[in-house]
Structure 1
Amino acid sequence: MPMGIKVSDLTIARGGIKVLEGLSFQLAAGQALVLRGPNGVGKTTLLRTIAGLQPPVSGRIESAVDTLVYAGHADGIKATLTVSENLKFWAQVFGNADISAALEAFELTPLSNRPAGALSAGQKRRLGLARLLVTGRDVWILDEPTVSLDVQAVEMFAAAIREHLRQGGSALIATHINLGLDEARILDVGPYRAKALEIDDFDGAFL
């Protein structure tokens, strides 16, 4: 089974200033972990760091090679390509071919030949999330994935997460809404907020 993620004594920074420190947790195969905390506390920075998009200040992030996929605030779609062409593009990037399950999971089959630029905001978000299913990656790292989704689409997303977990995948999700994932653990990152800089330390943060 995939290892998932193990985070040990992690300290991360945004703009050269520490935002979270001393954070440790483990996410095993078949598990979901939901990050909670006030706006600006560092949830996005944490996810980007775990995804390898920026280095940590200190600590360790352990995961198997080529198991992570990150979905941030942007939908990551090409407006001039159709829904199917977008999914086929991402499937090929990750060495896969079948997009049928992704189309079905997010009810995109009727829209498969429509240019992505002609989709509504919610439909674009569904297409962006459908990309997860064609990657073949075990660990989904998701930053506010339900933005622009209506209630029905949120249920589609939650169902996709449940199926991913059932197949031995895992998910690390930053969200303020209740996805109805009873099996998910909650991690409040607020207690790991880094202490404020002293006046003498302020200039040093930018050197």
Structure 2
Amino acid sequence: MNRMVTKRPEHETIYQRVRDMILFGEVVPGQPVTIHGLSDMVGTGITPVREAIRRLTAEGALTTLENRRIAVPEMTSDLLNQIALVRLTVEPELAKLATEHMKTSDLDALEAIDATLDEAIKAGDVRSYLEANYRFHFALYDMADAAILRRIAEGLWLRAGPSLRVVCGRFGTTSLTDQHRAATTALRRGDAAAVHQAIKEDIQQGIAFVRQTLDP
């Protein structure tokens, strides 16, 4: 029997492309861009980009400026404190829940992503580092089977992700470390409490780096 393959609508593809540009630092926080400029960057027409901007603005990943310009919001200390509060509540819990559903093949995939991340750090490849870091966390969170918590986490990453690009620009990748190895080691033991702690410390470390980039 032939299976019908459903093609992703163009507007959804463009939304994902613009979203990734924000997540992985292709659009710098505070840098004004126009709809036409963003369309040129994505290589598509105005209409799907306008729809992507509408959705991303509603999600807090973009803000509207004067003269029909848009920008990724710049991080502030108050905003970072709010993001930290929710991330440190939601994401370690997702990691803990994931431990209950983890299969060996899932863990192997996580370790492969983490190896890619380590190579990106060594090579100073900021884009690959940011992408692998995101993939690791959300591959883990997907295993939690907790759709509401995952959606909250993804919204927070859209707001916080661009600031990690600023961190990499200021400090480079060689100063970056993570708690992913501690998390995967704990996952192999089935130690949910240790997984929870490793992800909590990983988030705290990232927040501390972002805080150093903020004006006093």
TM-score range, shorter chain: under 0.3
TM-score (norm 1): 0.23
* Higher-strand-fraction structure: 1
* Higher-helix-fraction structure: 2
